[in-house]
Structure 1
Amino acid sequence: MPRAQQPPEVDRYVLRRVAAVATSLSAVIATSVVAGPATASEGALPCALARTDTHHSEGLDTWNGAYPRPARTLRAVMVFLSFPDSEPVADPGELAADYFPATSRFFERASYGRFTLRPDVQRRWVRMPQTSSTYGIRRDWDADRRAAYLRDAVAAADGSVDFSRYDVVYLVADPDAAGVDSDATKVVNLDQPLQADDADLRRFVTVFEQSPPDRNVLAHETGHIFDLPDLYHRPRDGKGDWDTYVGDWDLMGSQFGLAPDPFGWHKWKVGWLGDRQVTCVSLARDQHGTVHTLRPLSAPMEPGGGRRARLLVVRTGPRSALAIEARGAVGNDHEVCTEGVLVYRVRSETASGSGPVEVLDGHPGTEACWGTSVFPQLADAPLGEGESMDDAEDGVRVQVYGRSSSGDWTVKVGRSG
């Protein structure tokens, strides 16, 4: 179990948690998609884990061509669906404002301006042929009813929407219809596409949110379209914490998190960080450790991309690595209540929803951000100045020496023991 050693002058205290945060129960699971052809990836460094056949594998040496890579402008259409059993109360334009421009701005910040999500909002209701209850909408949706819903939605909207123009389709159901379950929002990635306007439609986000919706829910679902996995833990019996793997860190764990900016590993995977911003740390070459300067992950990117590392990676096995990055209260993480150097484990053979990423707790005896964090036990996971962590599983020690006036962190990585 990783532990942190603090200087004597640091006040150590435990924040008691009086109630579990239940909001993460609306997290969703994406439907599988058949693996597509591999395309070249910037993740060619020796510490880049190889992509496996696991659903939403965290391997990034190649890109899965079944998914659009968000390294360019992608166009999305948002279609609003009504049902014969309910007359809509809300206006489509008002519902659209729940999602845009906030979602596009989230990705603009996360990608350092390298990716633009451009929505085309259809500002009228499209009537579905069946009542809302006919489709059996719920979290664990019957596959046949879900397929019928998608077919009917595409057919109903086809007269007013040219689907061939879009990379992403958002289908937003009337939130006031009786058969709409707000817990059912999810991505559907099809191995057998629907056909419309001479185009193959493989990726849909079916939105069943109330207004206002869950925070960052559309950004979370859109992340699945970019081959990013669910990072939360779903209890088998439906009881217990959902956020034990990553807590507030990365919206693919919880869209409610205080630090929803994607992990540096994910930014590397999709192409927002290049090899120049990643440093592979080889413990075999230096038993005593090496010292590195780490730029905060969410800091604005320097002109030309910059060469200062934003991600340190220690390869720990054929399918595993430790990732080290600095997180601070800026950009998408502006609500975070603890800053510092975050360490997490990545496994490329672990499937979406089963813990492909696990944050290592730098302060396992304390909690933080009580009342706002989705999982206070990991809210204070980052290491501060003068602190260190020993990861017994891989024999790695991470030491934080300090922080410069420009905000960069000085970190030493070596062998523990």
Structure 2
Amino acid sequence: MSHIPEPEVYVRGQQTPEGVERPRLRAVSAAFTSLVALAATGLVAGPAVGAPSAGPCALPRTSAHHSLGLDTWNGSYPKPVDSLDAVMIFLSFPDSTPLTTPEELAADYFPGTDDFFRRASYGRFALRPHLQRAWTPMPRPSSAYEIQRDWDSGRRTAYLRDAVAAADGQVDFSRYDIVYLVADPDAPGVDSDATKVVNLERGLDVDGTEIKRVVTVFERHPPDRNVLAHETGHVFDLPDLYHRPADGKGDWDTHVGDWDVMGSQFGLAPDLFGWHKWKLGWLDRDQVTCVRGPGTRVLSLEPIAAPPVAGGTLGNRLVVVRTGAGSALAIEARGATGNDRDTCTEGVLIYRVRNEAASGDGPIEVVDSHPHTEACWDRSVYPPLADAPLGVGETVTVADAGTRVEVADRTRAGVWTVKITVGEDRL
């Protein structure tokens, strides 16, 4: 893709006066012939799988596409625990002689993508890539498929049908949980803006297994950074967090800015939100503090991207304030470590979560604790949110959540002390 992630499928909430209170002295599957491919706009239903780590602050999963409810797991998606095997197939076309090799293209994505998930999961999950070492010839010219961002479903179906059939002689699809189809980036009909996950309304039956979704990659060489991590996140039932303007113009990153790879593959702090890690099973109840009822609590927060301390233990990584039947306020620390090593600012980040908002409709919205300033205008995907976290001595009141957050301290080890006050009208 050229500059932004492609939605897998196809509001801001009520605006409230939010702003930091600063200290005075501080500044600033069926047969191929009946295959129907849905490009992420349709919900692919699946059985509910219990989530034993859920608690009273875990929002219930809804029918919204990629719902951020996490009381149950949608069993039609592979859950990234322990390990999953992925096959990467490289497709060439009769109207173009490849200028790169499969090995060169594979290096664009691995080990970078599996390293991203290893760090994000605190070592709890391994994405194991299996890379084809030769080109798989497609039967038709690249221009015949009319590849583009908002792709005609019939052309897309033909592409998937041809690709799987062409690779079936060399690939045993029953061995793999994830399928990546990488097109020759120099073929004339390949559009780098068309990379996406394609969900299948009726799965493909191949090698005795059902393929329910495929990651179609049309990136240039070298590709956009973290693009495969973003698309793989969709395979794990994570939503798009960016906002797609109706006319395709304007800012795409107003919901979360740099703060999660599902918002932008170019983000300076692309580690997954703590809420996502909780949903994926990488955070347990012991690492999530649920705040219920009015009052003030003083809590410690380790940076969400920090690796486990010696012995592999994690401290408190996420604080959740339940604000409604389908909404919550999440609070976490972000620091220059792990996947967030290039972050623009460090501090305590606050965001809203809604379980009924579908992918691309703002299921997460970062609270801008500094609404009158911005940061890193030369690097950030959305400078107004680049300085969203609170620093030591700063306080913000999220009026519609009835919650006040104050950062009291930060230790030399990077642990933040946070004071959270919830009003009488909150759950």
Q: Same fold (TM over 0.5)?
A: yes
Instruction: Say which is worse superposed, 235-244 or 298-307, in terms of deviation.
Output: 298-307
- The yes-or-no answer on 1:244 pairing with 2:293 is no
Q: Which amino acid is the alignment partner of residue 4 of structure 1?
A: V
User: Displacement, 1:84?
Assistant: 1.1
Q: Is the 8 Å Cα contact of residues 42 and 271 (structure 1) preserved in structure 2?
A: no
Q: Is the 8 Å Cα contact of residues 243 and 362 (structure 2) preserved in structure 1?
A: yes
Q: Which digits, 9 at most, give the CA deviation of each residue in 1:215-239, with x for residues without a partner?
A: 0000000000000000000000111
Q: Which digits, 9 at most, give the CA deviation of each residue in 1:245-276, with x for residues without a partner?
A: 00000000000000000000000000011111
Pairs within 5 Å for 1:214-233: 214-233=224-243
Residue of structure 1 in register with 2:332 after alignment? 325
Q: Which digits, 9 at most, give the CA deviation of each residue in 1:100-124, with x for residues without a partner?
A: 0000000000000000000011011
Q: CA RMSD in A?
A: 1.3
User: Displacement, 1:395?
Assistant: 1.4
Q: With the length of structure 2 as denominator, give the TM-score of the two structures.
A: 0.91
Pairs within 5 Å for 1:17-416: 30-284=40-294, 286=295, 289-302=296-309, 306=313, 308-415=315-422
For 2:423 and 2:312, the matched residues in 1 are separated by: 33
For 1:31 and 1:202, the matched residues in 2 are separated by: 15
Q: Is the 8 Å Cα contact of residues 276 and 306 (structure 1) preserved in structure 2?
A: no
Q: Which amino acid is the alignment partner of residue 413 of structure 2?
A: S
Q: Which digits, 9 at most, give the CA deviation of each residue in 1:149-193, with x for residues without a partner?
A: 101000000000000000000000010111100000000121211
Q: Is the 8 Å Cα contact of residues 43 and 63 (structure 2) preserved in structure 1?
A: no
Aligned length: 398
Q: Is the 8 Å Cα contact of residues 392 and 407 (structure 2) preserved in structure 1?
A: yes
Question: SS of 2:397's equivalent?
Answer: strand
User: Displacement, 1:392?
Assistant: 1.3
Q: Which amino acid is the alignment partner of residue 225 of structure 1?
A: V
Residue of structure 1 in register with 2:33 after alignment? none
Q: Is the 8 Å Cα contact of residues 43 and 64 (structure 2) preserved in structure 1?
A: no
Instruction: List runs of 5+ in structure 2 lacking aligned partners.
Output: 1-16, 29-38
For 2:49 and 2:245, the matched residues in 1 are separated by: 35
Q: Is the 8 Å Cα contact of residues 215 and 232 (structure 2) preserved in structure 1?
A: yes
For 1:176 and 1:154, the matched residues in 2 are separated by: 21
For 1:43 and 1:128, the matched residues in 2 are separated by: 45
For 2:91 and 2:41, the matched residues in 1 are separated by: 21
Q: Is the 8 Å Cα contact of residues 308 and 314 (structure 2) preserved in structure 1?
A: no
Q: Percent identity?
A: 66
User: Displacement, 1:2?
Assistant: 1.5
For 2:423 and 2:413, the matched residues in 1 are separated by: 29
Q: Is the 8 Å Cα contact of residues 32 and 190 (structure 1) preserved in structure 2?
A: no
Q: Which amino acid is the alignment partner of residue 134 of structure 1?
A: A
For 2:206 and 2:408, the matched residues in 1 are separated by: 57
Instruction: Say which is worse superposed, 300-309 or 265-274, in terms of deviation.
Output: 300-309
Q: Which amino acid is the alignment partner of residue 306 of structure 1?
A: T
Q: With the length of structure 1 as denominator, give the TM-score of the two structures.
A: 0.93
User: Displacement, 1:304?
Assistant: 6.3
Q: Which amino acid is the alignment partner of residue 364 of structure 2?
A: V
Instruction: Say which is worse superposed, 388-397 or 254-263, in terms of deviation.
Output: 388-397
Question: SS of 2:79's equivalent?
Answer: coil
Runs ≥4 residues deviating over 2 A? 29-33, 302-308
For 2:286 and 2:413, the matched residues in 1 are separated by: 20
Q: Which digits, 9 at most, give the CA deviation of each residue in 1:310-366, with x for residues without a partner?
A: 000000000000000000000000000200000000000000001000000010010
